[in-house]
Amino acid sequence: MTRNDRNRLVVWFWLGAFILFTPRLCAQTMAANAENAAANRQTFVDYGKKYIGRPYVNGATGPNSFDCSGLIYTVARESIGYQLPRTVKGIYSFCKIIDESEREPGDLVFFRTTASGDPSHVGIYIGNGHFLNAASDGPNTGVILSSLKENYWKGKYYKTGRFLPPSKILAENNTASSKNSESVSKAGLSGKNSSSRQTSRQNGNFTDKIILDGMFCLDWNFFTPDNFMLTFRGIAGTVHATYEGKNLKPGIGTTVRWDSGTGVIQLPLIFSLTMTDYMRIFAGPVFTIGTPYLPGNNDERIKASVFPGILGISFNSPSFKAGKTDISFVQDIHYTVFNDTDGSALNALKSFATGLVFSSGVRVTIPLRELIK
């Protein structure tokens, strides 16, 4: 076996290990996160119910009285240790706005009850079309259970917000729905059954499930074939679309990347799978404009590969609202394949110094439905 053959084997071994084990580890993380999310959501809901009957007092955060945002603020902090903003507008801006078909117990429902048009009331969704809230007006005030079907709330409903990770385990959702259904029944309320909710999800518009995002990043790594040092590797802009399916979230996108290290422009075609709200993996072919050179050595030409092209993983921070968009910080780690000019593999050091790049930047996300209203 020649040296090039050994180097090629080393590179493909690590790539294979990355491809094989990353989805498995991500799947385990997803299951654990989903179980934790279901437990946290149920704790959040159950803790809030213990305040039913407490009076409404403007500006109060409990424990003897509450206003609407004070109830959410206190219950989140005391039940699951989550620090939310104190006002309705602050909580709304903090949350990720989701489609009604994705709503589950522990999410927040917002209402516009004033002439300003801004969200001015908030409650905790508990399942089956019902929510827990601190009401200031009406036949019943204080901390009560209300229904989204009531004429008043139906006319004032605005949007649903999420601050806790979603639960994707159906059994957990069914258990939560069952518990909430029993609680609602005891309170003398009625709501939709789980089968009608599932039917509503299935009948959702395809375009409502398309989420668009754009990213702008600075590329860097920390070594060349000859030195270990922080190295600027260029800039990149990405446009991407994700389908928010019930079980899978596939996506497709493209990037325009100027790679200052190799002196070329790269055009990856990206196929992605979003694993959680904060992580996605991606891969795809890469089309290259220009002749690449080994980073740190402008005299040594190398050859770009179309396929296999790029493989990577992307992490993002929790987002914050800016108008209709969500903005988050993003960190990508990706590997792009380059070869020697004769098509043989570069040695391991040159391969990783050339192909392994970190991208740090900002992602702006907006649902497609917001653009086609």
Residue 100 DSSP label:
G
CA–chain centroid gap for 353, Å, is 30
Q: How is residue 164 written in tokens?
A: 């806790």
Kindly list the structural domains of the chain, giving each domain's residue range(s) and its CATH number in brackets, ordered by start. Answer: 39-162 (3.90.1720.10), 207-370 (2.40.160.20)
Q: How is residue 245 written in tokens?
A: 């399916």
Sign of CA dihedral 34, 209, 256, 235: negative
Reported pTM: 0.54
349-to-4, 95, 261, 292 alpha-carbon distances in Å: 12, 44, 15, 17
Quick check: helix, strand or coil at residue 28?
Answer: helix
pLDDT in tens, the chain (373 residues): 555 555 555 555 555 555 455 544 444 444 446 678 889 999 999 999 999 999 999 999 989 999 999 999 999 999 998 889 899 998 998 899 999 999 999 999 999 998 888 899 999 999 999 999 999 987 889 999 999 999 999 999 999 999 999 985 443 444 444 445 444 444 444 343 333 334 333 434 677 788 999 999 999 999 888 888 899 999 999 999 999 876 688 999 999 999 999 999 999 999 999 988 789 999 999 999 999 999 987 789 999 999 999 999 999 987 777 877 889 999 999 999 999 999 999 999 999 999 999 999 999 998 887 788 6
Tell me if 358 sits within 8 A of 216, measured CB to CB.
no
Find the helix packing angle between 170-186 and 3-49, rounded to 10°.
10
